[in-house]
Amino acid sequence: MKKFNFKINNEDGSARLGTISTNRGNILTPAFMPVGTAATVKAMMPESVRSTGAEIILSNTYHLMLRPTAERIFQLGGLHKFMNWDRPILTDSGGFQVMSLSKLRKITEDGVTFKSHVDGSKHYLSPERSIEIQKLLGSDIVMCFDECTPYPTTKVEAETSMSMSMRWAKRSRDAFGDRPEHALFGIQQGSTFRDLREKSAEKLSEIGFDGYAIGGLAVGEGQEKMFKVLDYAPNQLPQDKPRYLMGVGKPDDIIGAVQRGVDMFDCVLPSRSGRTGQGLTRFGAINLRNSRHKDDERPLDPFCKCPTCQNYSRAYLHHTIKIGEIIGSMLLTWHNLHYYQELMADIRKAIRENEFSKFVDDFNKLRMIGDVEEL
Protein backbone atom coordinates (compact mmCIF):
# COMPACT_ATOMS: atom_id res chain seq x y z
CA MET A 1 0.00 0.00 0.00
CA LYS A 2 1.36 3.40 -1.00
CA LYS A 3 1.57 6.08 1.68
CA PHE A 4 0.05 9.52 1.19
CA ASN A 5 2.74 12.06 0.36
CA PHE A 6 3.10 15.61 -0.99
CA LYS A 7 6.12 16.95 -2.85
CA ILE A 8 6.69 20.52 -4.05
CA ASN A 9 8.41 20.43 -7.44
CA ASN A 10 8.74 24.14 -8.17
CA GLU A 11 7.70 27.55 -6.86
CA ASP A 12 7.08 30.72 -8.85
CA GLY A 13 6.48 33.48 -6.34
CA SER A 14 3.92 32.01 -3.96
CA ALA A 15 2.49 29.68 -6.63
CA ARG A 16 3.46 26.05 -6.04
CA LEU A 17 3.79 23.11 -8.42
CA GLY A 18 3.44 19.81 -6.63
CA THR A 19 2.53 16.13 -6.66
CA ILE A 20 0.24 14.39 -4.20
CA SER A 21 0.95 10.65 -4.08
CA THR A 22 -1.88 8.33 -3.02
CA ASN A 23 -2.54 4.62 -3.08
CA ARG A 24 -4.89 5.17 -6.06
CA GLY A 25 -2.62 7.36 -8.14
CA ASN A 26 -0.87 10.71 -8.22
CA ILE A 27 -2.54 14.13 -8.30
CA LEU A 28 -0.68 16.99 -9.94
CA THR A 29 -1.18 20.32 -8.20
CA PRO A 30 -2.56 22.93 -8.47
CA ALA A 31 -5.55 20.63 -8.95
CA PHE A 32 -9.27 21.10 -9.48
CA MET A 33 -11.63 18.41 -8.14
CA PRO A 34 -14.95 17.96 -9.98
CA VAL A 35 -17.79 17.65 -7.49
CA GLY A 36 -19.58 14.30 -7.39
CA THR A 37 -21.70 15.12 -4.36
CA ALA A 38 -23.95 12.05 -4.29
CA ALA A 39 -21.54 9.61 -5.97
CA THR A 40 -22.17 11.17 -9.37
CA VAL A 41 -20.73 14.13 -11.24
CA LYS A 42 -24.04 15.36 -12.59
CA ALA A 43 -24.64 14.79 -16.34
CA MET A 44 -21.30 12.95 -16.72
CA MET A 45 -20.11 9.34 -16.93
CA PRO A 46 -17.08 8.64 -14.70
CA GLU A 47 -14.96 7.75 -17.72
CA SER A 48 -15.94 11.06 -19.33
CA VAL A 49 -14.85 12.91 -16.20
CA ARG A 50 -11.52 11.10 -16.33
CA SER A 51 -11.09 11.97 -20.02
CA THR A 52 -11.11 15.67 -19.13
CA GLY A 53 -7.89 15.15 -17.16
CA ALA A 54 -9.43 14.99 -13.68
CA GLU A 55 -7.28 12.97 -11.28
CA ILE A 56 -9.47 13.24 -8.18
CA ILE A 57 -13.12 13.96 -7.47
CA LEU A 58 -15.04 15.09 -4.39
CA SER A 59 -18.05 13.41 -2.80
CA ASN A 60 -19.99 14.40 0.29
CA THR A 61 -20.59 12.81 3.68
CA TYR A 62 -23.88 14.62 4.35
CA HIS A 63 -25.60 13.59 1.13
CA LEU A 64 -24.33 10.01 1.11
CA MET A 65 -25.26 9.41 4.76
CA LEU A 66 -28.84 10.32 3.85
CA ARG A 67 -29.02 8.46 0.55
CA PRO A 68 -28.15 5.60 0.05
CA THR A 69 -26.30 5.55 3.46
CA ALA A 70 -22.62 4.89 4.05
CA GLU A 71 -23.38 1.44 5.42
CA ARG A 72 -25.06 0.40 2.17
CA ILE A 73 -22.16 1.72 0.09
CA PHE A 74 -19.72 -0.20 2.31
CA GLN A 75 -21.71 -3.41 1.85
CA LEU A 76 -21.59 -2.86 -1.92
CA GLY A 77 -17.80 -2.62 -1.94
CA GLY A 78 -17.07 1.02 -1.12
CA LEU A 79 -17.54 4.30 -2.92
CA HIS A 80 -14.94 3.73 -5.65
CA LYS A 81 -16.58 0.50 -6.80
CA PHE A 82 -20.09 1.86 -6.25
CA MET A 83 -19.60 4.78 -8.65
CA ASN A 84 -17.01 3.16 -10.94
CA TRP A 85 -14.20 5.62 -10.17
CA ASP A 86 -10.81 4.02 -9.50
CA ARG A 87 -8.87 7.23 -8.88
CA PRO A 88 -8.60 9.16 -5.57
CA ILE A 89 -11.72 10.51 -3.87
CA LEU A 90 -11.86 13.30 -1.28
CA THR A 91 -14.96 13.46 0.89
CA ASP A 92 -16.18 16.60 2.58
CA SER A 93 -17.12 16.03 6.21
CA GLY A 94 -20.69 17.32 5.98
CA GLY A 95 -20.13 20.38 8.15
CA PHE A 96 -20.91 22.90 5.41
CA GLN A 97 -24.07 21.09 4.29
CA VAL A 98 -25.35 20.88 7.87
CA MET A 99 -25.07 24.69 7.94
CA SER A 100 -26.46 25.39 4.47
CA LEU A 101 -29.05 22.67 3.80
CA SER A 102 -30.32 21.03 6.95
CA LYS A 103 -33.35 22.20 8.89
CA LEU A 104 -33.71 22.96 12.59
CA ARG A 105 -30.10 22.12 13.43
CA LYS A 106 -28.97 22.08 17.05
CA ILE A 107 -25.26 22.39 17.77
CA THR A 108 -23.70 21.21 21.02
CA GLU A 109 -20.15 20.39 22.01
CA ASP A 110 -20.86 16.75 21.19
CA GLY A 111 -22.07 17.35 17.61
CA VAL A 112 -25.00 18.46 15.51
CA THR A 113 -28.58 17.20 15.47
CA PHE A 114 -30.52 18.20 12.37
CA LYS A 115 -33.42 17.37 10.13
CA SER A 116 -32.79 16.17 6.60
CA HIS A 117 -33.52 18.61 3.79
CA VAL A 118 -34.83 15.61 1.82
CA ASP A 119 -37.60 14.23 4.05
CA GLY A 120 -37.31 15.93 7.43
CA SER A 121 -35.94 12.82 9.17
CA LYS A 122 -33.76 13.41 12.21
CA HIS A 123 -30.00 12.76 12.07
CA TYR A 124 -26.87 13.29 14.15
CA LEU A 125 -23.32 14.11 13.08
CA SER A 126 -20.31 14.35 15.34
CA PRO A 127 -16.60 14.31 14.58
CA GLU A 128 -16.51 10.60 15.32
CA ARG A 129 -19.57 9.78 13.19
CA SER A 130 -18.33 11.89 10.27
CA ILE A 131 -14.99 10.06 10.28
CA GLU A 132 -16.77 6.71 10.61
CA ILE A 133 -18.89 7.49 7.53
CA GLN A 134 -15.85 8.53 5.51
CA LYS A 135 -14.05 5.34 6.50
CA LEU A 136 -17.05 3.29 5.38
CA LEU A 137 -17.00 5.11 2.06
CA GLY A 138 -13.30 4.33 1.63
CA SER A 139 -12.26 7.95 1.06
CA ASP A 140 -8.63 8.52 0.12
CA ILE A 141 -8.67 12.04 1.60
CA VAL A 142 -10.89 12.53 4.64
CA MET A 143 -11.89 15.94 5.97
CA CYS A 144 -12.19 16.59 9.69
CA PHE A 145 -15.61 17.64 10.96
CA ASP A 146 -16.00 21.36 11.54
CA GLU A 147 -18.56 24.11 11.73
CA CYS A 148 -18.42 26.36 8.69
CA THR A 149 -18.71 29.83 10.19
CA PRO A 150 -21.38 31.83 8.31
CA TYR A 151 -20.73 35.26 6.87
CA PRO A 152 -21.24 37.96 8.02
CA THR A 153 -20.41 37.25 11.63
CA THR A 154 -19.04 39.06 14.66
CA LYS A 155 -15.54 38.39 15.93
CA VAL A 156 -16.92 36.85 19.12
CA GLU A 157 -19.13 34.48 17.12
CA ALA A 158 -16.26 33.63 14.77
CA GLU A 159 -13.92 32.85 17.67
CA THR A 160 -16.50 30.68 19.43
CA SER A 161 -17.15 28.75 16.23
CA MET A 162 -13.47 28.40 15.37
CA SER A 163 -12.55 27.20 18.85
CA MET A 164 -15.18 24.47 18.75
CA SER A 165 -14.03 23.43 15.28
CA MET A 166 -10.50 23.04 16.65
CA ARG A 167 -11.77 20.80 19.45
CA TRP A 168 -13.67 18.82 16.85
CA ALA A 169 -10.49 18.64 14.75
CA LYS A 170 -8.69 16.89 17.63
CA ARG A 171 -11.57 14.44 18.02
CA SER A 172 -11.52 13.83 14.25
CA ARG A 173 -7.78 13.12 14.41
CA ASP A 174 -8.27 10.65 17.27
CA ALA A 175 -11.15 8.90 15.46
CA PHE A 176 -9.17 8.66 12.22
CA GLY A 177 -6.30 6.79 13.84
CA ASP A 178 -3.20 5.54 12.02
CA ARG A 179 -4.07 5.01 8.33
CA PRO A 180 -0.91 5.89 6.32
CA GLU A 181 -2.47 4.90 2.97
CA HIS A 182 -5.22 7.48 3.58
CA ALA A 183 -5.03 11.17 4.51
CA LEU A 184 -6.84 13.41 6.97
CA PHE A 185 -7.03 17.15 6.33
CA GLY A 186 -7.63 19.75 9.03
CA ILE A 187 -9.74 22.81 8.25
CA GLN A 188 -8.68 26.33 9.21
CA GLN A 189 -11.50 28.61 10.34
CA GLY A 190 -11.66 32.17 11.68
CA SER A 191 -13.80 33.99 9.11
CA THR A 192 -12.07 37.20 7.91
CA PHE A 193 -10.16 37.80 11.16
CA ARG A 194 -6.41 37.37 10.76
CA ASP A 195 -5.59 36.65 14.40
CA LEU A 196 -8.32 33.98 14.60
CA ARG A 197 -6.99 32.34 11.45
CA GLU A 198 -3.52 32.33 13.02
CA LYS A 199 -4.83 30.69 16.21
CA SER A 200 -6.66 28.10 14.13
CA ALA A 201 -3.56 27.32 12.06
CA GLU A 202 -1.43 26.96 15.20
CA LYS A 203 -3.89 24.52 16.77
CA LEU A 204 -4.20 22.45 13.59
CA SER A 205 -0.41 22.28 13.24
CA GLU A 206 -0.15 21.17 16.85
CA ILE A 207 -2.63 18.34 16.23
CA GLY A 208 -0.92 17.39 12.97
CA PHE A 209 -2.64 16.61 9.66
CA ASP A 210 -1.66 15.28 6.24
CA GLY A 211 -3.02 18.40 4.55
CA TYR A 212 -4.77 21.63 5.47
CA ALA A 213 -7.91 23.25 4.10
CA ILE A 214 -8.90 26.89 4.24
CA GLY A 215 -12.56 26.87 5.20
CA GLY A 216 -15.15 29.55 5.82
CA LEU A 217 -14.53 31.42 2.56
CA ALA A 218 -16.68 31.66 -0.59
CA VAL A 219 -19.69 31.96 1.72
CA GLY A 220 -20.77 35.45 0.68
CA GLU A 221 -17.80 37.67 1.56
CA GLY A 222 -16.91 38.43 -2.07
CA GLN A 223 -13.67 38.03 -3.98
CA GLU A 224 -11.94 41.12 -2.58
CA LYS A 225 -12.35 40.03 1.05
CA MET A 226 -11.52 36.44 0.16
CA PHE A 227 -8.25 37.50 -1.46
CA LYS A 228 -7.40 39.66 1.56
CA VAL A 229 -7.68 36.55 3.74
CA LEU A 230 -5.69 34.50 1.23
CA ASP A 231 -2.92 37.11 1.33
CA TYR A 232 -1.96 35.62 4.72
CA ALA A 233 -3.94 32.42 5.44
CA PRO A 234 -1.96 29.95 3.27
CA ASN A 235 1.34 31.07 4.80
CA GLN A 236 -0.06 30.47 8.28
CA LEU A 237 -0.32 26.77 7.42
CA PRO A 238 2.57 24.27 7.19
CA GLN A 239 4.61 24.85 4.05
CA ASP A 240 5.28 21.17 3.31
CA LYS A 241 1.64 20.05 3.18
CA PRO A 242 -1.05 20.56 0.51
CA ARG A 243 -3.39 23.52 0.97
CA TYR A 244 -6.99 23.19 -0.13
CA LEU A 245 -9.36 26.15 -0.60
CA MET A 246 -12.82 24.67 -0.13
CA GLY A 247 -15.67 25.50 -2.51
CA VAL A 248 -13.70 27.73 -4.90
CA GLY A 249 -14.44 28.63 -7.53
CA LYS A 250 -14.59 30.77 -10.64
CA PRO A 251 -11.51 30.68 -12.90
CA ASP A 252 -10.27 34.08 -11.73
CA ASP A 253 -10.81 32.99 -8.10
CA ILE A 254 -8.63 29.94 -8.71
CA ILE A 255 -5.86 31.90 -10.40
CA GLY A 256 -5.85 34.50 -7.62
CA ALA A 257 -5.68 31.76 -4.99
CA VAL A 258 -2.84 29.94 -6.80
CA GLN A 259 -0.95 33.26 -6.81
CA ARG A 260 -1.31 33.21 -3.03
CA GLY A 261 -0.11 29.64 -2.48
CA VAL A 262 -3.17 27.37 -2.71
CA ASP A 263 -2.83 23.87 -4.20
CA MET A 264 -6.32 22.31 -4.38
CA PHE A 265 -9.81 23.45 -5.35
CA ASP A 266 -13.36 22.19 -5.80
CA CYS A 267 -16.55 23.87 -6.96
CA VAL A 268 -19.96 22.95 -8.38
CA LEU A 269 -19.77 25.87 -10.84
CA PRO A 270 -18.65 24.02 -14.01
CA SER A 271 -21.26 21.27 -13.68
CA ARG A 272 -24.05 23.52 -12.40
CA SER A 273 -23.39 26.04 -15.17
CA GLY A 274 -23.55 23.21 -17.69
CA ARG A 275 -27.04 22.33 -16.49
CA THR A 276 -28.22 25.93 -16.71
CA GLY A 277 -27.05 26.67 -20.25
CA GLN A 278 -23.78 28.43 -19.48
CA GLY A 279 -20.50 27.62 -21.17
CA LEU A 280 -17.31 28.62 -19.36
CA THR A 281 -14.49 29.55 -21.73
CA ARG A 282 -11.15 31.33 -21.84
CA PHE A 283 -13.10 34.38 -23.04
CA GLY A 284 -15.55 34.31 -20.15
CA ALA A 285 -18.99 32.80 -19.57
CA ILE A 286 -21.32 32.39 -22.56
CA ASN A 287 -25.09 32.04 -22.13
CA LEU A 288 -26.26 29.50 -24.73
CA ARG A 289 -29.89 30.38 -24.04
CA ASN A 290 -29.34 33.72 -25.77
CA SER A 291 -31.08 33.86 -29.14
CA ARG A 292 -27.97 35.23 -30.86
CA HIS A 293 -26.62 31.67 -30.90
CA LYS A 294 -29.56 30.06 -32.74
CA ASP A 295 -27.93 30.27 -36.19
CA ASP A 296 -24.30 30.23 -35.04
CA GLU A 297 -22.32 27.40 -36.65
CA ARG A 298 -19.17 28.12 -34.61
CA PRO A 299 -18.05 25.92 -31.72
CA LEU A 300 -18.44 27.24 -28.21
CA ASP A 301 -14.68 27.88 -28.02
CA PRO A 302 -12.71 27.66 -31.29
CA PHE A 303 -9.48 26.76 -29.44
CA CYS A 304 -10.97 24.02 -27.27
CA LYS A 305 -10.29 20.33 -28.02
CA CYS A 306 -13.15 18.86 -25.97
CA PRO A 307 -15.72 16.60 -27.74
CA THR A 308 -18.39 19.31 -27.46
CA CYS A 309 -16.35 21.96 -29.24
CA GLN A 310 -14.98 19.48 -31.79
CA ASN A 311 -18.37 18.10 -32.83
CA TYR A 312 -21.24 20.48 -32.00
CA SER A 313 -22.18 24.03 -32.95
CA ARG A 314 -23.46 26.81 -30.74
CA ALA A 315 -26.71 26.55 -32.69
CA TYR A 316 -27.11 22.92 -31.63
CA LEU A 317 -26.25 23.68 -28.01
CA HIS A 318 -28.74 26.58 -28.04
CA HIS A 319 -31.43 24.31 -29.49
CA THR A 320 -30.98 21.47 -26.99
CA ILE A 321 -30.78 23.82 -24.01
CA LYS A 322 -33.90 25.77 -25.07
CA ILE A 323 -36.05 22.65 -25.47
CA GLY A 324 -34.68 20.99 -22.33
CA GLU A 325 -32.95 18.01 -23.93
CA ILE A 326 -30.60 16.20 -21.54
CA ILE A 327 -27.78 16.14 -24.08
CA GLY A 328 -27.48 19.92 -23.85
CA SER A 329 -26.58 19.66 -20.15
CA MET A 330 -24.23 16.77 -20.85
CA LEU A 331 -22.33 18.55 -23.62
CA LEU A 332 -21.97 21.83 -21.74
CA THR A 333 -20.87 20.09 -18.53
CA TRP A 334 -18.30 18.08 -20.47
CA HIS A 335 -16.93 21.25 -22.02
CA ASN A 336 -16.89 23.14 -18.72
CA LEU A 337 -15.03 20.38 -16.88
CA HIS A 338 -12.58 20.04 -19.77
CA TYR A 339 -11.96 23.79 -19.68
CA TYR A 340 -11.24 23.68 -15.93
CA GLN A 341 -8.76 20.82 -16.31
CA GLU A 342 -7.12 22.56 -19.26
CA LEU A 343 -6.86 25.71 -17.14
CA MET A 344 -5.18 23.79 -14.33
CA ALA A 345 -2.76 22.13 -16.77
CA ASP A 346 -1.84 25.55 -18.18
CA ILE A 347 -1.35 26.90 -14.65
CA ARG A 348 0.97 24.01 -13.80
CA LYS A 349 2.94 24.50 -17.02
CA ALA A 350 3.37 28.22 -16.29
CA ILE A 351 4.62 27.55 -12.75
CA ARG A 352 6.99 24.86 -14.02
CA GLU A 353 8.46 27.33 -16.53
CA ASN A 354 8.51 30.22 -14.04
CA GLU A 355 6.12 32.22 -16.23
CA PHE A 356 3.07 32.37 -14.00
CA SER A 357 2.92 36.17 -13.99
CA LYS A 358 2.83 36.19 -17.80
CA PHE A 359 0.12 33.50 -17.73
CA VAL A 360 -2.02 35.67 -15.46
CA ASP A 361 -1.58 38.67 -17.76
CA ASP A 362 -2.54 36.62 -20.82
CA PHE A 363 -5.56 35.19 -18.99
CA ASN A 364 -6.81 38.67 -18.13
CA LYS A 365 -6.28 39.93 -21.69
CA LEU A 366 -8.44 37.14 -23.11
CA ARG A 367 -11.17 37.96 -20.59
CA MET A 368 -11.09 41.58 -21.75
CA ILE A 369 -11.55 40.50 -25.39
CA GLY A 370 -14.68 38.58 -24.45
CA ASP A 371 -16.92 36.56 -26.74
CA VAL A 372 -16.82 38.81 -29.78
CA GLU A 373 -18.32 37.76 -33.10
CA GLU A 374 -15.05 37.49 -35.00
CA LEU A 375 -13.66 34.79 -32.72
Q: How far apart are CA 24 and CA 279, in angstroms?
A: 31
Question: Is 146 among the residues known to form the active site?
Answer: no
Strand partners, 339: none
Q: How far apart are CA 241 and CA 45, in angstroms?
A: 31
Q: How many helices (H) and strands (E) does the chain have?
A: 16, 16
User: What type of residue is 326?
Assistant: I
Q: Are strands 211-214 and 243-245 parallel, antiparallel or unpaired?
A: parallel
Question: Is 195 among the residues known to form the active site?
Answer: no
Q: How far apart are CA 305 and CA 192, in angstroms?
A: 40
317-351 in b/e form (b: 16+ CB < 10 A) is bbebbeeeeeebbbbbbbbbbbbbbbbbeebbebb
Catalytic residue among 12, 253, 266, 301: 266
Dihedral pair phi/psi, residue 181, rounded to 5°: -85, -5
Q: What angle, rounded to 10 degrees, do the helices at 194-207 and 155-176 form?
A: 10
Catalytic residue among 92, 140, 146, 263: 92
Q: Kindly list the catalytic residues.
A: 92, 266
